[in-house]
Structure formats: structure tokens, C-alpha cells
Amino acid sequence: MDALQKLAVRALSDVLVMSPGRGQAAWLAETIWPEANVTSWFIDSHRAAQAELAAGQAGHHPLIVCEMDLPEQAIDLAVLPVLKTGEAEMNRDLMQQAVARLRIGGTLITAVNSAADHWLQAQMQGLFAKVKCTRTEDGCVYEGVKKVELKKVRSFEAAIEFRVDDRVLTTYSRPSVFSHRSIDTAARIMIREVPITDGQNVLELGCGNGAVALAAAARSSSGNVYAVDCNARSVDCVRRAADRHQLTHVTAILNHDGQLDGVVMPCDIALLNPPYYGEFSIAKHFVNTAIRYVRTGGEIWIITKQADNYHDQDWKGAFFVSSVNVQGYDLICYRKL
């Protein structure tokens, strides 16, 4: 990035890069300021693992972290490239956190892949008295220098109440968590339609804000419930909600590769609401992971609007049991052989 090169004359000791990709800006920062502490931050453990692999292959070694919030350390420079299709609240949250961590005189550089951008510019202008803007055919780059501490810090968190049988539960949500500020229809269907009895061990893959896992825990008070997600904020939201309701048998797990040996006991039921992106590869990963950790005779429940993709597969180790359409979704059940 040209904006980084222009700052090369400054001596920086701490640089933080937030990235929707592989964190290549951290590689450049490491080259420009070889004595600096360069941190590449991710919210998603899968992206963090990919970034670490790519950096190593390219001969770079920034500190790569996957945490729910930016590291609590003072920094001289923060870099945030965003996508024009990115989540607005998440980007606002990260910009606010970055400014809070900047030393006085530190710089926040943001960039977006839209030459017609005005939204990101407005967000920067709300954080800095003066913002430098560079527009090109490929997008816009903004720079702001911190002169004073933030006067007001906004919370982007939400608390969500929902009913499970005769009990009202509360879970939490933050930007980047799936279905932020709400419980989506698919989750509500799964809570309502999938039978879970006391004593059953339950595995939810892609737990999001944890509503489905918490509902399972409320119904199976003597079983174990495992809530798995690759998003560090999702895992934290589930842990906090479980603590609030004293659901001590809920284990929230940050994981993306499906390797859960030694963490997850054999389960009676797996609950899946796989994402639709990834050309079905993520959905396959979810199902195969569920097959691995569900006991023989256990059930795998999937909620989807793409049932044919599942029916077209030859799932090794599981067979089709049933499928019912509920509110435009197909709720599919497989049983492990």
C-alpha cells in the first residue's frame, strides 16, 4: 500500500493490521519497520490459519492472533482494508477499537475497494478532525491522525431473549456473529422441531450466537452440549450466555478444522445450519465432522434451503431418515451407521 510506504520515514514500534484476506499489509509493514512489533488480527480462526500459512510461505512472520477484540496494547499505526460488501457494524466496531488503542499522534489507515465510496469516509470523519482521502480507479484510502482520546465509546453488542418451552433464555450477539441482533428463522425452527431429551449429548456446528445450543442445554440438563464456531466472538457469546443461566454443561469451542478429539465426547445428536457460501464445501465439512463425532445410531439434523445438494451426496457413515419442509426450509435428518 502506497499509504504505508509514505509513512516509512516515521519510526514505529507497534503496528496492527486487520484484514478480510490474508493480512498481506502486515508483510509490508514488517518489511518497512523491521524492528516494530507487527500484529495481524483476525476474528475467524480459519482465516487466521490461512494467513499464518501464507505468511510463512512468503517468508514473513507477523504475530497472528485470533481473538474477539483487538489486542489491548498501545499502537502507532492501525491498518484496516474493508470490502464494499463488508459488514458495516463490524467495520465501525473495529475502527472505534483501533482509534482507542492508537497512541496520540498515531495513524489509522482504512481502504475500501470502491472508487465511489462515501460511507467509509463519513465513518473516518466521525472519528478524526481531519481525514486525508486518496481516490483511485480501484478504490479509496483514508488516513486519520489521533489528536485526542475518544470522548464516547459505543457498544455494538446486543442481548437477545428467546423462549424454550416454559423458560426464557438470553444470549448475546456482536458484529460478525451470524444473525447479529436476532435469532434467525432457521435457528428457531431447529429449536422448535428437533426433539432433544434429558441426558443426550448434543453437538452444534456453526453455533453463531448460541441460541440452538443453549436451547439444547436447557432440555438436556444432564447431558453435555458442545457449541462450535470459527468466530471468536460467537464462542465468547455462548460462554457468557451459558454462565448467565448456569448451564455448566455447555462447552463453547473455537474450531474450524473439525478436529475435536479429546474435547467432544460421542454425541447423540448433531445440529447443523451450514452457510451457503463455499460451493457446498463448508456444508460437506459440517456433515462429515458430525458423522465423526456422533455415536452409532445417533442423529444428524440439518436445516437448509438447498436440500437437493444433501440428497445428491453419498454420505459415508450415515443414511437418510427424513425431510420435512417448515416455513420454506427443509429440516433433514440422517442417522449414523
Residue 170 class from Cβ within 10 Å (0-12 exposed, 13-18 middle, 19+ buried)? Answer: middle
The Cα 172–Cα 181 span in angstroms is 8
The Cα 146–Cα 102 span in angstroms is 7
**Residue 25 CA: distances (Å) to CA of 28, 106, 114, 171, 172:** 5, 17, 18, 35, 32
Complete domains list, the chain, with CATH: 2-145 (3.40.50.150), 158-336 (3.40.50.150)
185 Cβ neighbours under 8 A, 6+ residues apart? 327, 328, 329
3-state SS, residue 169: strand
**Residue 27 CA: distances (Å) to CA of 49, 81, 308:** 15, 14, 43
| Strand pairing category for 37-42 and 14-18 | parallel
3-state SS, residue 83: coil
pLDDT one digit per residue (tens) for the chain, 337 residues: 678 888 888 899 999 999 999 999 999 999 999 999 999 999 999 999 999 999 999 999 999 999 999 999 999 999 999 999 999 999 999 999 999 999 999 999 999 999 999 999 999 999 999 999 999 999 999 999 999 999 999 999 999 999 999 999 999 999 999 999 999 999 999 999 999 999 999 999 999 999 999 999 999 999 999 999 999 999 999 999 999 999 999 999 999 999 999 999 999 999 999 999 888 999 999 999 999 999 999 999 999 999 999 999 999 999 999 999 999 999 999 999 9
